[in-house]
Structure 1
Amino acid sequence: MCGRYSLTVTLEELMLRYQIDAALAVPYHHPQYNIAPTQLVVSVIHDGQNFRLGELRWGLVPSWAKDESMGSRMINARSETLKDKPAYKIPFARKRCLIPADGFYEWQKRENSKQPYRITLRSGSMFSFAGLYDTWIAPDGSKTSTCTIITTTPNSLMAPIHNRMPVILKPEDEMKWLNRQEITTSSLQQLLVPYPAEAMQADPVSTEVNSVRNDSPSCIVKSSS
Structure 2
Amino acid sequence: MCGRYALTATPEDILEFLSVIDIDDFPKRYNIAPTQPILLIVAGESPMPGSNVPARKAVLARWGFIPGWVKDPADFPLLINARAETAIGKASFRAAMRHRRVLVPASGFYEWHRPAKEEGGKAQAYWIRPRKGGIIAFAGLMETWSSADGSEVDTAAILTTHANAAIAPIHGRMPVVIQPEDFETWLDCKTQEPKAIEHLLKPVQPDFFEAIPVSDRVNKVANMGPDLQEPAEHAAPLPQPQSKKAKNGDQLSLF
* TM-score > 0.5 by shorter chain: yes
Structure 1: distance between partners of 2:189 and 2:15? 21
Structure 1 gap ranges (5+): none
Structure 2: distance between partners of 1:71 and 1:16? 37
Does residue 1:147 correspond to 2:156, yes or no?
yes
* Aligned equivalent of 1:115: 124
Structure 2: distance between partners of 1:104 and 1:15? 21
Cα deviation digits, residues 38-70 of structure 1 (max 9, x gap): 000011001333310111110101111102236
* Aligned equivalent of 1:57: 62
* Aligned equivalent of 2:81: 76
1:148 aligned counterpart, secondary structure: strand
Amino acid at match of 1:47: G
Cα deviation digits, residues 161-196 of structure 1 (max 9, x gap): 001111011111112101122332122111000001
Normalised TM-score (structure 2):
0.84
Amino acid at match of 1:79: A
* Aligned equivalent of 2:13: 13
1:152 aligned counterpart, secondary structure: strand
Structure 2: distance between partners of 1:84 and 1:162? 25
Structure 2: distance between partners of 1:193 and 1:161? 18
1:66 aligned counterpart, secondary structure: coil
* Aligned equivalent of 1:101: 106
RMSD (Å), alpha carbons:
1.3
Structure 2: distance between partners of 1:40 and 1:103? 17
* Aligned equivalent of 2:31: 34
Cα deviation digits, residues 132-189 of structure 1 (max 9, x gap): 0000111111110000000001100111000111101111111210112233212211
* Range 132-141 or range 71-80, more displaced: 71-80
How far apart are residue 88 of structure 1 and its match? 0.5
* Range 78-87 or range 91-100, more displaced: 78-87
Quickly say closer, same or farther: Cα 1:153–1:70, change in 2 above 3 A. farther
Structure 1: distance between partners of 2:76 and 2:17? 29
Once the two structures are superposed, the pairs formed by residues 76-225 of structure 1 within 5 Å of their partners are 76-110=81-115, 111-224=120-233, 225=235
Cα deviation digits, residues 96-117 of structure 1 (max 9, x gap): 0000001100000132200000
* Aligned equivalent of 2:50: none
The answer to whether the Cα contact below 8 Å between 1:97 and 1:177 also exists between their aligned partners in 2 is yes
2:196 aligned counterpart, secondary structure: helix
Structure 1: distance between partners of 2:219 and 2:41? 27
Structure 2 gap ranges (5+): 47-54, 236-255
Q: Identity rate of aligned residues, in percent?
A: 37
* Aligned equivalent of 2:42: 45
Amino acid at match of 2:64: G
Structure 1: distance between partners of 2:17 and 2:75? 33
The answer to whether the Cα contact below 8 Å between 2:96 and 2:141 also exists between their aligned partners in 1 is yes
Amino acid at match of 1:136: W
Quickly say closer, same or farther: Cα 1:69–1:28, change in 2 above 3 A. farther
Structure 2: distance between partners of 1:48 and 1:70? 35
Paired residues in the alignment total 222
1:33 aligned counterpart, secondary structure: strand
The answer to whether the Cα contact below 8 Å between 2:88 and 2:97 also exists between their aligned partners in 1 is yes
How far apart are residue 72 of structure 1 and its match? 5.5
